[in-house]
């Protein structure tokens, strides 16, 4: 068994967001997805992002407000959200005190599956 601790891992900033990429753990032949933790500081928002990978996100600390598909959706601590391939998204942290930390797994659409409505080719 291996354990992974965000607080002791290498991180890099993406705008105001702190990102811990799982590539550093050498699991590329083990995991069927890419992964990262990211933290949005209080009263901040992630940069707008859009990519061909699906992205499954788990809210570990704080509460998220996710802007995607033309609306904002609250996802509280312990909840999950799945972004479609190509779906533009911004993640807001509306708290004035609590950082928002999310674990995301992301992967390209599986072979043989249809592109989703949100796909950008």
Q: In terms of DSSP bridges, do strands 54-61 and 44-45 run parallel, antiparallel, or are they unpaired?
A: unpaired
Residue from 44, 61, 95, 98 binding a second copy (CB under 8 A): 61
* Binding positions for a second copy, 11-30, rule CB under 8 A: 27, 29-30
Enclosing H/E stretch for 100? strand 100-107
Is 53 an interacting residue with respect to a second copy (CB under 8 A)?
no
Greatest alpha-carbon span in the chain: 45
Token pair belonging to 93: 């942290």
User: Between residues 7 and 12, which has the closer beta carbon with respect to a second copy?
Assistant: 7
In angstroms, give the least distance from the CB of 74 to a second copy: 9
Is 100 an interacting residue with respect to a second copy (CB under 8 A)?
no
Residue count of the chain: 121
């Amino acid at each position: 068994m291996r354990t992974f601790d965000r607080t002791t891992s290498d991180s890099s900033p993406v705008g105001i967001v702190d990102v811990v990429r799982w590539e550093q753990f050498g699991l590329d032949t083990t995991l069927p997805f890419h992964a990262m933790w990211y933290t949005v500081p209080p009263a901040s928002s992630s940069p707008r992002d859009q990519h061909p990978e699906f992205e499954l996100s788990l809210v570990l600390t704080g509460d998220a407000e996710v802007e995607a598909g033309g609306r904002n959706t609250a996802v509280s601590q312990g909840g999950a959200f799945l972004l479609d391939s190509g779906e533009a998204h911004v993640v807001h942290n509306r708290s004035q005190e609590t950082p928002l930390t999310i674990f995301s797994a992301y992967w390209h659409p599986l072979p043989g599956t249809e592109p989703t409505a949100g796909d950008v080719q």
